[in-house]
Amino acid sequence: MRRRSLRARLLAIGGGGALVTVVALAAVAAMASRLQRELTAATVEVLEEQQIADRISTGVMRQLATLAAAGGIGDSTVRAGFDAAGAVVSEGVRSYLFRPLSIDERLALERVNEEHRQMEVAAVRAAQAAENGGVLARSDLQAQALGHALGLLDAMDAFLRQRQANFDALLVAQREQIARLWWLGGGILVTSAFAIAWLLPRFARRRITAPLAMLGEASRRLGEGALGVRVHEEHDDEFRALAQSFNRMSEQLATMQADLEGRNQALETALEEVHRAQADLLEAEKLGALGRMTAGLAHELNNPLASVLGASTLLETELREGRALPPHEMLERFVTPIVREATRARLLVRSLLQFSRRAGGAVEPVSLRDAVENVRELRQHAFAQAGLRLEIAPLPEVAVLAEPQQLQAIILNLVNNAEHALQGQAGGRLAIRALVDEGVVALRFEDDGPGVPALDRVFEPFYTTKPVGEGTGLGLALSRRFAEAFGGTLRVDNRPEGGACFTLVLRVADAAPAPRPAADDVMPSNALDGRSVLVVDDEPELRALAARALARLGVTVHVADGVASALAILERTRVDVVVSDVRMPGESGLDLHRWVLAHRPALAEHFLFVTGDVSDPALAALAAERPEAVILKPFELREYLGRVERMLGGAVNGER
Amino acid sequence: MASRHPALLLSLAAVAACSQPPDRVAIGAGVSATFVDAVRMAIEDAQAEGGLPPLDTLFFAETSNRAAPALDMARQLAEVPGMVGVVAHSNSSSSLAASPIYNAAKVVQIAPTSTSVRFAESGEFSFRLVPADPMQGALLARSLDSLFPDGARVALHFVNDDYGRGLRDAVLRELDRGRHQVVLDQPHADHEATDDTVARLRLVDESVAQLAAARPTAMLWLGRIATFRLYAPRIRERLGPLPILAGDGVSSLTEADVANPDLLGVRYADFFDLDATPAGRDFQQRFAARTGIAARSSEVLSYDAARVILAAVKDGARTGEEVRAWLQSLGRTRPPWPGLSGPIAFTDRGDVERGYVLLTVGPGRP
């Protein structure tokens, strides 16, 4: 099949059809026109012949009248008139000669001609006889002339009737031809209309709608994901080009999909690497922060420890040298500083433990004041050491929606950043204040530092102004992400008067924060005679300290260095309260608790865990269910004894 | 394409076959009997020379000067397959009346002796070997001038048909009216010569009486020899040795005419002097030997008419159209054809331009 464009095909069909129709109609019209012209010409000829016949008749009559009225044929004027009239007749007859006459018509015409010639001869002779006398009577010659004249008229009449008959026949034939032509023209139009009505839908279906339907079906399949779908290209140019484009598109889509899948795979691999890198970075950040914090903590702890050690050493020296000072002086000079500094160290450790707890819990009401206080406790001495001021305005007692550890991480990060920005700036100040307004709290951190050089980039991951090795550039990015996870925001501005201002906006919680275990400031002093407490700890010093402290309650103290020895004691001795470390060589305190649950269920409610880490999920769940069952190391002795005393107060006696 | 339309090919082949020149050609004649003899002789001479295709012939001998029989002859001649040319007819009226039939059939018509002015209008297939009437009229008028320098009383007697009326009009146009006086202008009809009735004889007598009454000193006979034979004795009887000048209509003189004392001294126009050339005399001898009849210019012209058509056929013409084109090329792209009557080349009007001669009936001059 020869390829052509749809346009060319339409033009060819339309033009060809139109041309054929027009040509056919034109031919019919030409034939009709020719017939019409022939009819017109025949009509004109009939009229002309009628005029010729009139001239012939008139000429004959004039010739006869000339001879009858005039004096004599010898008169040249008379003869000239006679000849002129005769010439009209001859011319008239001869004018027929070159017309398309039939043989019969020509024969009839020749009869006219001969009758005229003989009429003229007889007429002239009759006239001459009248003038000159003669043998023949003029009347006889005139009769001959008249006879030929009548013969001429009869012949002329016959000729004309023959012409009329022939013309009528021609007229009828031509009218029939014209009628046939009309039928032919109508037939052509009807045929053309039928051909168009029959061919056009077939053409449209075959050349237009079928390819369109095929393309539509292919497009539908393509849209459903059948990227390998192809369409036939054996169409007219336009649809072939469309089909080729479709096939190319389908092929390209298949290629692109394969490429996309490859890229997706690569992206997934890259994403995994990024996640790993991010985890590594987070870990690095965490470790870095921990390192920095540990370094600061060591510094912070060294001071109270140095005080404790100094006071203890002096106390030891005083006691060894036997210099008995009054108790209140001993208390004021040695014991009170030791307790104060040890308490300070404890607070530092507790704050550190708060940060060491694993984040990722649910967003819950958190005390904003406690969160800030924890940070302050961690960093205020560092600020003081650096000659900086950490000023915290009185904070409202408001609970905000946050994950506690992440909230403290945000605050600590902002405080650390400010400290870094204020380094070398004596008297530099970080002011923290809170503004409560319509369900939100804006916690503002305003410092006197140099401000943030690139406000629009400061929250970008890995952006940092710190020297290489001192920061990961993730602190602020993570802080903002945490804040947004809480439903709040973290933004930064440079203060007009200088310095940066970070604003942490948090939602106010409807509920109050969960109560924190409160320390009992009162050292129990009343003895609980007859009761027994089992202390399980792998650290001998702690076991001895616990035994001495518990002895002040007047209870019987059993000590075990591990779970196995503890079980042996429980098997043979009545115990009212178990105080156990969690992490120990071999089985843990949790294993012991499970044993108690299984074998001494009533004792399970009098089980006090002493631990420095509540990261274990089972322990965390237990602490969440029963906060009184867990006490964190290091602890104040009063709180420790208070817990044990409250448990002993509710203990069920007699259980083994 | 060809394999898809075998029917069309067959049709085309049939058309092509029909359009090819026929193997045989036809030639015809519709003239007086002696003219037909001349045509036969011409065909025989041409066939003897060789180079002709097989010929079909159809000859009609005219027995009257009326146009009606000529029409029927023309129809039959034109219907002959392969007819390429005819020698027809003997007089102007017949030639003129039949010419539309030949032209419609595209058959060449050569009228050997038709002089009517109107014949030139017949059509492109109609030719003649003589000039038109005006030249003959001028010849006769000038002859009157030379014979009657002081003028003459002229009686015109003309046959009232295309020939006689045309010749009469030409003479009257050329006649010096200041010198010559037309005292009688009388028509006649040719059928008077064949209608040998008492009434007709009285009619001739009456006409001659009128002629005598007009007291002419010269007479112009513008009719044919047959009718003249009827009138001549009465004219001599009534008017004695009246000088008579005649048109070419009396040129077909027989031996009896030449010996007829009533015709003695009659001067007549002829297209050429057959005795003046050896070829002419040779033709006379051959024609006489063949038919026993003395040949006149009309027979020579009929002979030449047939020969010139056959020359075209011999030269390859196989249709009337080709013969016509060949004749038209004479004197143009071809040299004039050398006829017995002289070089033959046709004008645009289909005439052969040649002069007239005035001959006298008398001893030694048939």
- The answer, yes or no, to whether residue B10 has pLDDT greater than 50, is no
- The answer, yes or no, to whether residue B217 has pLDDT greater than 90, is yes
* A106/B71 Cβ within 8 A: yes
Report DSSP letters for B220-268, one per residue: EEES-HHHHHHHHHHHHHHHSS--EEE-GGG-S--HHHHH-GGGTT-EE
Residue B202 has its nearest CB partner, among A101, A128, A135, at: A135
CA distance B292 to chain A (A): 34
- What pLDDT sits at residue A389? 92
* A132/B210 Cβ within 8 A: yes
- Specify whether the CB–CB gap between B157 and B192 falls below 8 A: no
Tens of pLDDT, residues A297-317: 666 677 678 778 878 887 888
**For residue A133, what is the nearest residue in chain B, using CA coordinates?**
B210
Note which residues in 152-191 of chain B have CB less than 8 A from chain A: 160-162, 165, 184-189, 191
B17 or B186, greater pLDDT: B186
Best probe of the A interface among B93, B160, B182, by most A CBs < 10 A, is B160
Q: Is B100 in CB contact (< 8 Å) with chain A?
A: yes
Residues 6+ positions from A647 with CB-CB distance below 8 Å: A576, A577, A605, A606, A608, A628
Dmax of chain A from CA atoms?
A: 221
Which residues of chain A are within 8 Å of residue B213 when distances are taken between CB atoms? 132-133
Residue B67 has its nearest CB partner, among A101, A113, A128, at: A113
Q: Give me the helices (H) in B79-132, please.
A: 92-105
Tokens of A242: 């469309």
In SS3 terms, A521-585 reads as CCCCCCCCCCCEEEEECCCHHHHHHHHHHHHCCCCEEEEECCHHHHHHHHHHCCCCEEEEECCCC
Give SS3 for A232. coil
Give SS3 for A366. strand
Least reliable range by pLDDT among A12-21, A608-617, B10-19: B10-19
Query: What element of type H or E holds A131?
Result: helix A103-132
- What pLDDT sits at residue B11? 31
Tens of pLDDT, residues A475-511: 888 888 889 989 999 999 999 999 999 999 999 998 8
Residue B186 has its nearest CB partner, among A94, A124, A133, at: A124
Report, as an integer, the average pLDDT of B318-342. Answer: 95
**CB count, 10 Å around CB of A444?**
17
Residue B145 identity: D
Report, as an integer, the average pLDDT of B294-308. Answer: 95
Residues 6+ positions from B34 with CB-CB distance below 8 Å: B252, B291, B293, B295, B296, B298, B299
Give SS3 for B127. strand
Q: What is the ipTM of this complex?
A: 0.84
Report, as an integer, the average pLDDT of A328-355. Answer: 75
- Specify whether the CB–CB gap between A65 and A145 falls below 8 A: no
Tokens of A433: 């204040």
* B186/A106 Cβ within 8 A: no
CA distance A103 to chain B (A): 7
Residue A116 identity: H
Chain Cα centroid distance, residue A394:
50
- What pLDDT sits at residue A652? 40
* B97/A135 Cβ within 8 A: no
Residue A103 has its nearest CB partner, among B75, B184, B189, at: B75
Residue B73 identity: M
- Specify whether the CB–CB gap between A570 and A601 falls below 8 A: no
Tens of pLDDT, residues A203-262: 888 878 888 888 888 888 888 888 778 888 777 777 788 888 888 888 888 888 888 888
**For residue A82, what is the nearest residue in chain B, using CA coordinates?**
B185
- What pLDDT sits at residue A482? 86
- Interface residues of A toward B, Cβ cutoff 8 Å, are 79, 90, 94, 97-98, 100-101, 103, 106-107, 110-111, 113-114, 117-118, 120-121, 124-125, 128-129, 132-136
- What pLDDT sits at residue B340? 93
* C-alpha to C-alpha distance for A482 and A360, rounded to whole angstroms: 10
- What pLDDT sits at residue A519? 41
- What pLDDT sits at residue A577? 94
**For residue A138, what is the nearest residue in chain B, using CA coordinates?**
B206
- The answer, yes or no, to whether residue B364 has pLDDT greater than 60, is no
- What pLDDT sits at residue A307? 75
* C-alpha to C-alpha distance for A359 and A351, rounded to whole angstroms: 15
**For residue B122, what is the nearest residue in chain A, using CA coordinates?**
A98
B343 or A529, greater pLDDT: B343
Tens of pLDDT, residues A562-598: 999 999 999 998 899 999 998 888 899 999 999 999 9
pTM to 2 decimal places: 0.53
Report DSSP letters for A318-356, one per residue: HHHHT----HHHHIIIIIHHHHHHHHHHHHHHHHHHHHH
Phi-psi domain of A204 (left: phi exceeds 0; alpha: psi -120 through 50; beta: other): alpha
Least reliable range by pLDDT among A48-52, A433-437, B345-349: A48-52
- The answer, yes or no, to whether residue B316 has pLDDT greater than 90, is yes
Q: How confident is the model at residue A10 (pLDDT cuts 50, 70, 90)?
A: confident
Which residues of chain B are within 8 Å of residue A111 when distances are taken between CB atoms? 68
First to last CA, chain A: 105
CA distance B179 to chain A (A): 17
